[in-house]
Amino acid sequence: MNWPGHGVLQIGVAPLEDWVRERNRFYDPGFVSKDPGFHHAHITVLAPLHEWNLGAISAIAQRTPPFDIVLNEVDVFRNGIIHLIPTPGAPLRELTRQVWAAHPSVVPNGAPSPTPHLTLDAVSTTVDLASTRRAIAALLPAHHHVFEMQLVWYESGNCHEMHRWRLGGHETMSP
């Protein structure tokens, strides 16, 4: 049975794009998008989305001012997902809270208290926390100015950007 895919509201993190895209290519080239607007390196705001309220997302984006984050701490969840922890996390948690309130049927990973993170890799026989820290060390700390959110579609062979919103403004940008 084929996985049907789903929407993800996310924050792209350009300083880590090349590294994360190559890890995606290593695991499953079907999830490497040819869409130049699609961000492989991202922090999920809310997923999985099968329906979305563009008006609510737009209003949330308009009232959310841009902010800066730093990604430097590499950690691992109990399920083996190796990730970076953005600081400060409060603006990202608030975005998730607002978007989740507009999409109450969605149950995000980590509910009831989703943890903002950027996925790097997964523990395996050849990958662990220490090896990932060494592999990404030259890119850290990664400083990023968060100024937009994007709605993307995740499906093998069909990953693409669907919509983009500038934070703190009245612009709605589409690909």
Helix, coil or strand: residue 143: strand
In a domain, residue 54? The reply is: yes
Q: What DSSP state is assigned to residue 41? A: S
> pTM of the prediction?
0.94
159, 171, 88, 25 alpha-carbon torsion, rounded to 10°? 20
Q: Where are the alpha helices (DSSP H) in 9-81?
A: 17-27, 54-63
Q: How many domains does the chain have?
A: 1
In a domain, residue 21? The reply is: yes
Domain limits at 153? 6-173
The whole-angstrom separation of Cα 156 and Cα 24 is 11
In a domain, residue 167? The reply is: yes
CATH classification of the domain holding 18: 3.90.1140.10
Tens of pLDDT, residue by residue over 7-53, are 999 999 999 999 999 999 999 999 999 999 999 999 999 999 999 99
Tens of pLDDT, residue by residue over 84-109, are 999 999 999 999 999 999 999 998 88
Provide the pLDDT for residue 1: 44
In a domain, residue 1? The reply is: no
